[in-house]
């Protein structure tokens, strides 16, 4: 281990340095900072929607504006927050977990980031056009999204923005796969990879195989809109349902793209705070591979209501995919079982993740059943379900990751009291916002409406109050982060008694990450080095 | 604060399984309601057991202050893992069979358009930006509504009613919450849904697929009445059409 350097040493340098950097850590920070910025922007759009929905009738904005807001909220959260956040975390921590000095293709990495930023800015530039941003939902179904029904420039900017950021994601994934196969330190066999890295490997494969379908769909839509194409025009022999197939062939793997890495994050954090190894390492790996494989066979459960898909097949696959996720839950519980658990902020957010994602997962089973989906599809039931997976799952785990790893990235600790305040406000605000939406959906309130019958007023008001509390909790995090950045106590190399290799080096790590490495004989080399050996061989015995 | 809605919401806040569907008004909806209730019981059990185990671990295995000794380093237990792979697998197979059985009941009740039973009442439901046009196919009676003025159709109870769903602009979705049913209305795709309304009453209908600016206003309502009352209404509308003079309103 080297002497701790000043916290800001590796971040020194001006704008030129940040713009030209090919260092995986700086690119990781750029990705994460951009992702968090779009999280805030897209979150503000959601708050404006909840403001409009607090009461029946239109008070705050026009229908047109509301339609732009939910379109860009979904687009922003999926494409410019969640996906780049995954690539950012992987950028920073995949090489560190491997004991590698950087990613395999540092310049491709830089290209990927700047393309993804350009894509995000392009899509959001729709707000600056005379006809406003895209307003056909993040799913962009034609014919609504074609030139006849959505003539504005905002729609074309949306397509181009998604094409750019999608291509960037593919570049990032290729790079990560090459890194995971090519840059493992001596001793780092595949079955000694961190579970985080296993999840990044499977996620990268999902990106490489699913984003091209989106690219194809968007390119065809662009041709339909601008060059007289008829791919999705039923009156000319095209098929609007084709777009839905292509979109969801991407779209369902996409939801695993933004959750699998966070299964990885949670699987790294829980053992550290329970002071035990991961229970069932190979089971975790198998479950991750199964989810990755199944995720390409479930897409048409988004299309049961079209009446144009083989419902029993997609119902079967959609229910089967719950099984490997269930395995993970039992492995997480078994990891905590008879442990000695401390509940600092990263672990607290992992516990929030477990409960919230459990609700998201269980309600997902309902939607996998075609008859129930006939009732619940396109209602607030679905909105509630996927927010439990994407906020209850992904966002809770994003904050677990940030509380866990920001001390490594900044070299300074965040304040635990503010972190706890953040957690409880977020848990209360989130549940208040979304739990009532299950009932709203069953009662028949459909998605994507700015106005609703007054019978839904009570739940909607509760939901809007919840959204305010949720926003407040994020503000607490921002304050905590800002204070810690300037005057947080030094983190030292290893504030959590971590297991994986990032805790062997300084906080933040030097330019090429490591000046020495411990022997790597299991998936937790730093633990082995500090507690005497506990090699893979011992475990098999 | 004591209306059924509030009590349902309050319950939903505390127990996931307490969220419930509206009371189904048609035969197919009743089957979905039963399926939903079965799922709820199983889901509540899965949730309680899993959440209970997590909660137990949190409460029971907290690290005591100053306890620096490592707990036993357990790595895996293949037997246990096979068991908790097998149990969910069996549960989802069961849920799948239940779902497909209910789905099969639907298919039997939704014959292809060319073998209508004689007593099936067929309506064409055309969705457009932003309203619905209902045509009683046999009699030619038409009911049209727009975003400003919702159309109201009258239907008989106890009779199989088929809706042929048509769109010439964008995708809409025919949705009646009390039937627990929706089906997309897609240009170029012939979709049909069948319902048998069991209780007289007025039921709200909506567009469930986002279809542009006034999507929220694209509503209709169904007034379900006894068969003879329906016949009288239909005859009246037919006379109106032929004379071109509205006899109502």
Q: How would you classify the pairing of strands B220-225 and B191-196?
A: unpaired
A2: pLDDT strictly greater than 50:
no
ipTM above 0.85, yes or no: yes
3-class secondary structure, B223: strand
CA atoms within 13 A on the CB side of A255: 26
Contact A518, A529 (CB under 8 A): yes
**Quick one: pLDDT at residue A143?**
97
Instruction: Please give the interface size between A and B, counted as residue pairs whose CB atoms are below 8 Å apart.
Output: 273
* pLDDT tens-digit map of A116-126: 999 999 999 99
- CA B74, chain centre distance (Å): 47
| Mean pLDDT of the A520-536 span | 85
Percent of chain A with pLDDT over 90: 95
- B236 Cα to chain A: minimum distance (Å): 31
Rounded Cα distance between A382 and A445, Å, is 11
Query: Is A25 a domain residue?
Result: no
How many residues can be counted in chain B? 249
Burial annotation A97-128 (CB, 10 A radius, 16+ → b, else e): bbbbbbbbbbeebbbbbebbbebbbbbbbbbe
Task: Give the pLDDT score at A534.
Answer: 52
SS3 B159: coil
Are B50 and A329 within 8 A, CB to CB? yes
How far A300 CA lies from chain B's nearest CA (Å)?
A: 14
At residue B116, the pLDDT reads: 56
Closest residue of chain B to A455, computed from CA coordinates: B5
Compute the distance between CA of residue B213 and CA of residue B207 in angstroms, rounded to an integer. 12
> Quick one: average pLDDT of B91-117?
76
**Which residues are registered as beta bridge partners of B155?**
B224
The reply to whether A151 touches chain B by the CB within 8 Å rule is no
Torsions phi, psi for A194 (to 5 deg): -65, 155
Instruction: Give how far A9 is from chain B: nearest CA, Å.
Output: 33
CB spacing of B75 vs A452 below 8 angstroms: no
pLDDT, position A539: 45
Distance of residue B156 Cα from the nearest chain A Cα, in angstroms: 22
Region A377-381 average pLDDT = 97
Q: Does a structural domain hold residue A4?
A: no
Among B34, B48, B50, which would you mutate to test the A interface (most chain A Cβ atoms within 10 Å of its Cβ)?
B50
Which residue of A52, A146, A374 to mutate against B (max B Cβ within 10 Å)? A374
Q: What is the pLDDT, as a whole number, of residue B110?
A: 54
The partner residue sitting opposite A341, judged by closest CB among B62, B77, B188, is B62
Give the span between the Cα atoms of B70 and A272, in whole angstroms: 11
* B86: nearest CA partner in chain A: A323
Which residues of chain B have a CB within 8 Å of the CB of A339?
Answer: 57, 61, 71
**Is residue B16 pLDDT above 60, yes or no?**
no
Q: Looking at the domain assignment, is residue A22 inside a domain?
A: no
Q: In this predicted structure, what is the pLDDT of residue B246? A: 59
**pLDDT above 70 coverage of chain B, percent:** 86
CA distance B3 to A99: 61
Q: Whole-model pTM?
A: 0.94
Instruction: Give the gap in angstroms from C-alpha A485 to the nearest C-alpha of chain B.
Output: 29
Query: Residue A490 gets which letter from DSSP?
Result: B
Residue A357 scores a pLDDT above 90: yes
pLDDT value at position A5?
Answer: 46
Chain centroid to CA B43? 19
A383: distance to nearest CA of chain B, Å? 13
- Please state which architecture CATH assigns to domain B117-243: Sandwich (2.60)
Q: Residue A72 forms beta bridges with which residues?
A: none
Residues of A (423-442) whose Cβ lies below 8 Å from B:
431, 435-436, 438-439, 442
Please give the pLDDT value at position B117. Answer: 61
Q: What is the pLDDT of residue A183?
A: 97
Buried b (16+ CB within 10 A) or exposed e, A336-350: bbebbbbebbbbbbb
Nearest by CB to A330, from B51, B84, B177: name it.
Answer: B84
A19: in domain: no
Domain carrying residue A495: 31-540
Say if A26 falls within a structural domain: no
**Structure-model confidence comparison of residues A390 and B65, the more confident one:** A390
pLDDT digits (tens, 9 = 90+) for A35-82: 999 999 999 999 999 999 999 999 999 999 999 999 999 999 999 999
Give me the half-sphere count of Cα atoms (radius 13 Å) on the Cβ side of residue A382: 21
Measured between beta carbons, the chain B residues lying within 8 angstroms of A64 are 213
The percent of residues above 90 in pLDDT, for chain B, comes to 75
Q: Quick one: what percent of chain A has pLDDT higher than 70?
A: 96
Residue A1 lies in a domain: no
Q: Does residue A7 fall inside a structural domain?
A: no
Facing B39 at nearest CB: one of A235, A316, A365:
A365
On whether residue A13 sits in a domain, the answer given is no
Location of structure tokens 């056009």: A129
Residue B81 with chain A: CB contacts under 8 Å: 280, 283, 327, 330-331
pLDDT value for B18: 58
Q: Count the domains in chain A.
A: 1
- What's the pLDDT band for B245 if we cut at 50, 70, 90? low
- A457 in contact with chain B, both atoms CB, cutoff 8 A: no
**What is the pLDDT, as a whole number, of residue B249?**
45
Sign of the dihedral defined by the CA atoms of residues A275, A276, A281, A284, in that order: negative
Rg of chain B on CA atoms, in Å: 25
Structural contact between residues A156 and A226, judged by C-beta atoms closer than 8 angstroms:
yes
Instruction: Show residues of chain B in contact with A368, CB under 8 Å.
Output: 99
Residue ranges of E strands in chain B: 121-128, 131-136, 142-145, 152-156, 160-167, 172-176, 181-185, 191-196, 201-207, 220-225
Q: How close, in Å, is residue A534 to chain B by CA atoms? A: 9
Between A275, A330, A436, which is nearest B9 by CB? Answer: A436
CA distances B105 to A19, A96, A407, B233, Å, are 61, 56, 58, 32
Q: How far is B160 from chain A (nearest CA, A)?
A: 19
What is the residue-averaged pLDDT of chain A? 95
Measured between beta carbons, the chain A residues lying within 8 angstroms of B80 are 334
Give A336-358 as a DSSP string: HTT--B---HHHHHHHHHHHHHH
What per-residue confidence (pLDDT) applies to A541?
A: 33
Neighbour tally for A361: CB within 10 Å: 24
The answer to whether residue A14 scores a pLDDT higher than 70 is yes
Q: How far apart are CA A278 and CA A276, in angstroms?
A: 7
Reference A313, options A294, A331, A327; nearest CA is A294
Radius of gyration of chain A measured on its C-alpha atoms: 23
Residue A537: the pLDDT is 45
Q: Which residue of B has its CA nearest to A347?
A: B58
Are B208 and A305 a contacting pair at CB < 8 A? yes
A:300-319 residues touching chain B, CB 8 A cutoff: 305-308, 311-312, 315-316, 319
Residues A309-340 pLDDT 10s: 999 999 999 999 999 999 999 999 999 999 99
Q: What is the β-pairing status of strands B160-167 and B191-196?
A: antiparallel
Give residue B147's pLDDT band: very low, low, confident or very high (50, 70, 90): confident
What's the whole-number mean pLDDT along residues B118-129? Answer: 93
Round to whole Å and give the CA distance between A355 and B47: 9
Predicted pLDDT at B107: 65
CATH number at A92 reads 1.20.210.10
Do B92 and A322 make contact, defined as CB atoms within 8 angstroms? Answer: yes
From chain A, the residues in CB contact with B171 under 8 A are 141, 143-144, 240
Cα distance between the two ends of chain B: 38
> Which of B175, B125, B132, B169 has the alpha carbon at shortest distance from A142?
B169
Q: Do A451 and B177 touch (CB under 8 A)?
A: no
C-alpha distance from B143 to closest chain A C-alpha (Å): 23
B204/A358 CB distance under 8 A: no
| Paired sense of beta strands B191-196 and B131-136, if any | unpaired
User: Which pLDDT belongs to residue B229?
Assistant: 97
- Closest to B173 in 3D by CA, of A252, A367, A444, A440: A444
Q: Is the pLDDT of residue B121 over 70?
A: yes
- Report d(CA A300, CA A298) in Å as an integer: 6
Among candidate residues A435, A432, A495, A491, the one with its CA nearest the CA of residue A466? A432
Q: What is the pLDDT of residues B18-71, one digit of tens each?
A: 578 888 999 999 999 999 999 999 999 999 999 999 999 999 999 998 888 999
What's the DSSP call for residue A393? I
């Amino acid at each position: 281990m080297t002497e701790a350097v000043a916290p800001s040493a590796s971040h020194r340098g001006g704008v030129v340095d940040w713009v030209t950097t090919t260092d995986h850590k700086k690119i990781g920070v750029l990705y994460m900072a951009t992702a968090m910025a779009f999280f805030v922007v897209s979150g503000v759009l959601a708050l404006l929607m909840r403001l409009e929905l607090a009461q029946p009738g239109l008070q705050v904005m026009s229908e047109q504006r509301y339609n732009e807001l939910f379109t860009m909220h979904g687009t922003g959260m999926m494409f410019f927050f969640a996906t780049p956040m995954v690539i950012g975390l992987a950028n920073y921590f995949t090489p560190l977990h491997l004991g590698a000095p950087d990613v395999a293709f540092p310049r491709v990495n830089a290209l990927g980031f700047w393309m993804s930023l350009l894509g995000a800015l392009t899509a959001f530039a729709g707000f600056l056009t005379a006809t406003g941003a895209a307003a056909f939902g993040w799913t962009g179904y034609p014919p609504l999204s074609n030139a006849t029904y959505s003539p504005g420039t905002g729609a074309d900017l949306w397509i181009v923005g998604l094409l750019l950021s999608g291509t960037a994601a593919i570049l990032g994934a290729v790079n990560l796969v090459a890194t995971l196969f090519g840059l493992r330190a001596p001793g780092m066999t595949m079955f000694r990879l961190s579970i985080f890295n296993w999840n990044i490997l499977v996620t990268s494969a999902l990106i490489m195989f699913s984003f091209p379908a989106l690219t194809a769909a968007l390119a065809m839509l662009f041709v339909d809109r601008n060059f007289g194409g008829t791919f999705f025009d039923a009156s000319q022999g095209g098929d609007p349902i084709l777009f839905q197939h292509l979109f969801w062939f991407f779209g369902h793997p996409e939801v695993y793209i933004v959750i699998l890495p966070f299964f990885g994050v949670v699987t790294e954090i829980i053992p550290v705070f329970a002071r035990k190894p991961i229970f069932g390492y190979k089971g975790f790996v198998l479950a991750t591979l199964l989810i990755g494989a199944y995720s390409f066979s479930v897409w048409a459960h988004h299309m049961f209501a079209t009446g144009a898909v083989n419902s029993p097949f997609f119902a079967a696959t959609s229910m089967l995919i719950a099984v490997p996720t269930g395995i993970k839950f039992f492995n997480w519980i078994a990891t905590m079982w008879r442990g000695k658990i401390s509940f600092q902020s990263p672990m607290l957010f992992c516990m929030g993740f477990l409960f919230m994602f459990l609700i998201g997962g269980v309600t997902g089973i309902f939607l996998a059943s075609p008859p129930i989906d006939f009732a619940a599809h396109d209602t607030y039931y679905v909105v509630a379900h996927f927010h439990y997976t994407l906020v209850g799952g992904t966002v809770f785990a994003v904050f677990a990751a940030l509380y866990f790893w920001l001390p490594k990235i900044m070299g300074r600790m965040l304040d635990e009291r503010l972190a706890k305040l953040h957690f409880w406000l977020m848990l209360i605000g989130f549940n208040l916002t979304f739990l009532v939406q299950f009932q709203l959906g069953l009662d028949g309130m459909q998605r994507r409406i700015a106005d609703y019958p007054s019978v839904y007023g009570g739940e909607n008001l509760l939901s809007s109050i919840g959204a305010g509390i949720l926003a407040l909790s994020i503000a607490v995090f921002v304050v905590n982060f800002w204070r810690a950045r300037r005057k947080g106590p030094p983190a030292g190399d290893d504030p959590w008694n971590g297991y994986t290799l990032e805790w062997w080096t300084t906080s933040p790590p030097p330019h090429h990450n490591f000046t020495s490495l411990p022997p790597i004989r299991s998936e937790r080399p730093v633990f082995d080095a500090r507690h005497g050996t506990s090699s893979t061989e011992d475990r098999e015995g | 604060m004591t209306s059924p809605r509030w009590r349902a919401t309050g319950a939903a806040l505390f127990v996931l399984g307490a969220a419930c569907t509206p009371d189904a008004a048609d035969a197919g909806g009743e089957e979905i309601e039963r399926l939903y209730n079965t799922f709820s019981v199983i889901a509540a059990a899965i949730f309680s057991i899993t959440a209970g185990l997590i909660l137990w671990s949190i409460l029971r295995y907290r690290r005591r202050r100053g306890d620096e000794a490592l707990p036993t380093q357990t790595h895996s237990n293949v037997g246990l893992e096979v068991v908790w792979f097998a149990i969910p697998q069996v549960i989802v197979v069961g849920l799948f069979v239940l779902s497909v059985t209910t789905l099969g009941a639907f298919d039997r009740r939704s014959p292809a358009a060319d073998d209508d039973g004689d007593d099936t009442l067929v309506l064409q439901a055309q969705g457009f930006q932003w309203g619905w046009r209902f045509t009683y196919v046999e009699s030619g009676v038409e009911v049209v509504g727009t975003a400003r003025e919702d159309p109201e159709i009258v239907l008989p109870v106890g009779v199989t009613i088929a809706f042929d769903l048509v769109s010439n602009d964008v995708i809409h979705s025919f949705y009646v919450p009390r039937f627990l049913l929706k089906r997309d209305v897609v240009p170029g795709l012939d979709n049909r849904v069948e319902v048998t309304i069991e209780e007289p009453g007025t039921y709200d209908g909506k567009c469930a697929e986002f279809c542009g600016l006034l999507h929220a206003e694209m509503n209709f309502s169904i007034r379900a009445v006894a068969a003879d009352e329906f016949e009288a209404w239909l005859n009246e509308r037919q006379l109106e059409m032929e004379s071109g003079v509205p006899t109502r309103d």
